[in-house]
Amino acid sequence: MIENPRTFPIEKTGLHPRNKHRGRYDFAALVQASPVLAKFVQLNAHNDASIDFANPQAVKALNSALLKCFYNISKWDIPAQFLCPPIPGRADYLHYMADLLASVNGGVIPTGNAVSVLDIGVGANAIYPLIGQCEYGWHFTGADIDSVAIENAQHILAANLGLAESIELRLQTSANAIFKGLVQPDDRFDLTMCNPPFHASLQEAQAGTERKLRNLGKNSGAEKATLQKIPAQKSAFQNKPVLNFGGQAAELYCAGGEEAFVNIMVNESQLIGQQCLWFSTLISKATSLPSVYRALKKVNAQQVKTIEMAQGQKKSRVVAWTFLNVTQQRAWY
C-alpha cells in the first residue's frame, strides 16, 4: 500500500484524472506546508528528493503534509500501529464514486452537505471523510468498531475548524455486524464506502508485511527495526510483529478475509436497500470477485458495477451495487 520510492514516473497516469497526486511529490512545497517533513527528506539513488517509505514516521509526516497542502487539514495524526493510508489511492476511490453519483444525476457530480456518505471502517485516520469533504463538500458518517480509532478521528475533527459539523462518527458496538445496529431507520445515504480487512488471519497479514518490506528493498536488519508487536489485547498471536504503518487487527484481517467480510456486507445491505443509492467496497484480491458477484445475485441487486483502479503496480477495484431500479435512481436527487 506504500509507494515504492525507487520508481518516480513523471505522471501517474493510472490515477483518476481529477486526482491531485498524479504528478511527482513536490517535496519543496510539501516541506513548506509542513516543515516537520524536512528531517525525513533525502536524495535517493536516482538523486531525487524522497523519503524512506519503510520508515513509518516518515510516511506519517508525508501524509500530514499532503493533507495540509492539498486538503486544508492543518492538524492530522494517528497513534502508532494504526493504518497510515496511501492518500493517492484513497483519493482515487472518492473520485470514482463521485463519477458514479454523477451517472444518475445527469452527468453532474452532486456536491455539498446534502450528499450523505457512510464510511464503514473510518479508522483512526478518517481519510475518506477528510478528502471527500474538502473535494466535494459531502457530509460523512464514519463508523468503526474500535473506540480508540473513533476517539482519535474525533480529535482530528476537533483540531480542524468546521469539520465536526460535516463529519459524524459512530461506534459499531457489534463485532459481527456491519450495517445492523448502525444504520438507523431515518438514515438516508447517497453512498457507502469501505476498505475491508483483506487478510484472513494474522499470519497472512504478517506475510504481507514482510513482502512489503522486501519490495521496499530493506535487508533483514532494517526489517526487524521497522517491526512492532500488536498489543496483547488485540490478538492471541501478540508476539508476531506487523508494520507499525500496517494497521491494527481489525484493519488488517478478519475470519475469511475480505471475501467473507464483503459477503456479510452484501447480505446486510439488502436490509437497508431502499435507504441507500449506491453501496460500494474496495476489493483488493481479484480472486474475491466471483464470491462477491454470487452474493449480489443472491440478494437480487438491481445493478452491479466494477471499477478498475491502479496505483503504480498495485491493482485494485471497487465493486458498487444498488437495489434501486433505473427510475428510482434518477428520482433519488
- Predicted local distance difference test score (pLDDT) of residue 241: 35
pLDDT at 140 over 80: yes
Local confidence band at 257 (pLDDT 50, 70, 90 cut-offs): confident
Tracing cell 510539501 back to the chain, one arrives at 30
* Domain boundaries defined on the chain: 81-198+255-331
Q: Write the pLDDT tens digit of every residue in 265-303.
A: 999 999 999 999 999 999 999 999 999 999 999 999 999
CA contacts within 13 A on the Cβ side of 95 = 16
Give the type of residue at 244: N
pLDDT at 226 over 50: no
The closest of 266, 307, 322 to 99, measured between CA atoms, is 307
Percent of the chain with pLDDT over 90: 72
Average pLDDT, the chain: 85
Give the type of residue at 48: D
**CATH of 81-198+255-331 given 2.60.120.560, 3.20.20.70, 3.40.50.150, 3.40.50.300:** 3.40.50.150
Provide the angle, in degrees to the nearest 10, between the axes of the packed helices 257-269 and 289-298. Answer: 20
Q: Write the pLDDT tens digit of every residue in 159-200.
A: 999 999 999 999 999 988 999 999 999 999 999 999 998 544
